[in-house]
Each structure stands twice: as structure tokens, then as C-alpha cells.
Amino acid sequence: MNQRIVVGLDGSTESIAAARWAAREALLRNAPLHLVHAEEWSSPPGIPAASSDVRRPWTEALLRKAYDGLRGEHPQLDITTESFDGRPADSLVGVAASAGMLVLGSRGLGTLTGFVLGSVGMAVIQAAERPIVVVRAAEDAMPHAHGRHADRDMVVGIDISRPCDALLAFAFDEASRRACTLRALHSWMLPPLTGSGFAYNPEVTAQITQSMNTGLDDMLKPWRDKYPTVHIDAQARVGSASEQLLETGSEAGLIVVGRRIRRSSIGAHIGPITHAVLHHATSPVAVIAHE
């Protein structure tokens, strides 16, 4: 059986959209769907914390409502639920370790602390090494949102200067499942304008672009051979990588970006391009950790 798809719920519109997205993904993969909720219940000094008798019914109602809604939409889907009492980020990283994918809403709008693309969401993305998909509430309003994942293009951002096999493996496998076009994008910047500005000569720029496209094609060739049915639109462009990804992926079914796994606790664990895409993309974003 395929590894289960895990989705974090906090009752917000975003987390419900994430659950519906995750359900469609589970159907694509013939995998079970696991709904989880984690909460660290705390109170200001001097105010007693809510008792388990209060917390448990709220959590059970949250999970039951989501379960019933998804079961009604996808009666064939294997759905389970689980709740955790503890720090949400730690709980999510733990449950994601054995999952095929973790899906989160991009913002929690409820009054309770939940899964948000803030301190919790970013902490999870920095620590988890399984694919993580971030979904906005607006995804439910996109075409085909209520059926199986359909034929909206996918976009993957590639750095041809470094190996990124895990990133490409995920992107090609997902595009194959969706039977959609995969748009592979490598962006590069002209050097600072100094001296005579030779690099800004149109002929030189064209030569560099051709070289970048050749490098991109070389990186993609093994994956084209492995997934011959996936239609690839590969482009190397001059410009900001994050801006190019956001523009190209504005109506994509999924934007796929990578993050380098850092074993050290010092330094950033999410690169600036992935960070910008996570915070500004309107389409779902998959973050793939890789060496």
C-alpha cells in the first residue's frame, strides 16, 4: 500500500481546503488519508488551563466534521483521524516521518493556535524531510478543485548548478499521475553592470541563455527517458527565480520547489527562493527536502 497522506487540521478555512486537496491527492496515489490535529493548550498566568473534558469534545468534533465531509465527497477513500496534545510543530514532524506527504493550510484564522504558515508551519517545513504541500483556501475556488487533480500545469523550479534528484523524482512522478504538462524552470541573473557591460550585449545574453537551456535539458534527459508520457516545457530565463516561479505558477495545479537539508542548527533551513514562493504563491506549493 502507498504511504498515507497526512493533513493537519485546525478548523480554519485554509486547513479545510488543505484536507480536500489532500483527499484528491490520496485518490491519485491510491493511498489512505490521515487527518490529524495537535494542540498545546495553555493559558495566561493566573488563568486555569482548559480541562481535558473541554478540549477532547472540541477536538473530536473538529475531526469528525472533516471526516464526515470528506467521506461524503469520496466514499471510496480510506480515512483515519488522530489527535495530539502537545506542540503542533513537533507533532506534525513526528507524524510526517512515516508519511508519503504532509499537507498544511497556509494560514490559520481560528481563535485557537493551529497549523499556520507562520512559526508552526515554517518550523515543520524546516525540520521535516518528507514532501510538504502548502494549500491556500482559494484553491477550492480554482477550476477542477472539486474533482480529482486535473490537467492544470505543474511548475518545478530547478537549479542546474546542483543535483536535485529528489525534487525531479517528485515532480515527474506527480505530473505522470496527473497526466499534465510539467513546466521546468531555471532562472539566472546577469552579472552586475560594471565596466563595459559586455554581458549585456544581446548576442552574449543569447549565448548564455542557450548554454543554460542546454544544461537544463541535460539535467532533465534521464527523467524524460524514465517518464516518456510526461510532456515537458523546459525553459531557462533571465530574471529573479522567485518572481519567475510566482508568475509562471500563478494558475498552476502545483508549484514544486526544493530546500537543502541542513544537519546544522545554525543558518537558514529554507532558501530565499522557496521562502518567497511559500509566502506569495496562490497555487499549492510542494517543498521537497533534498541533499
> What pLDDT, in 10s, does the model give residues 132-166?
999 988 787 665 555 555 668 999 999 999 889 99
Domain at 5-141, CATH class:
alpha beta
Q: Where are the domains of the chain?
A: 5-141, 154-290
Q: Minimal CA–CA distance to 287: which of 203, 164, 177?
A: 164
Query: Cell 496527473, residue?
Result: 178
pLDDT computed for residue 291 by the predictor:
79
Same topology, domains 5-141 and 154-290? Answer is yes
Q: Coil, strand or helix: which one is 6?
A: strand
Domain at 154-290, CATH class:
alpha beta
pLDDT single digits (tens) 69-100: 999 999 999 999 999 888 888 999 999 999 99
Q: Helix-strand-coil percent breakdown of the chain, rounded to 5?
A: 40, 20, 40
Sign of CA dihedral 226, 232, 238, 242: negative
Confidence of residue 245 (pLDDT cuts 50, 70, 90): very high
Which residues pair with residue 134 across a beta bridge?
104, 285
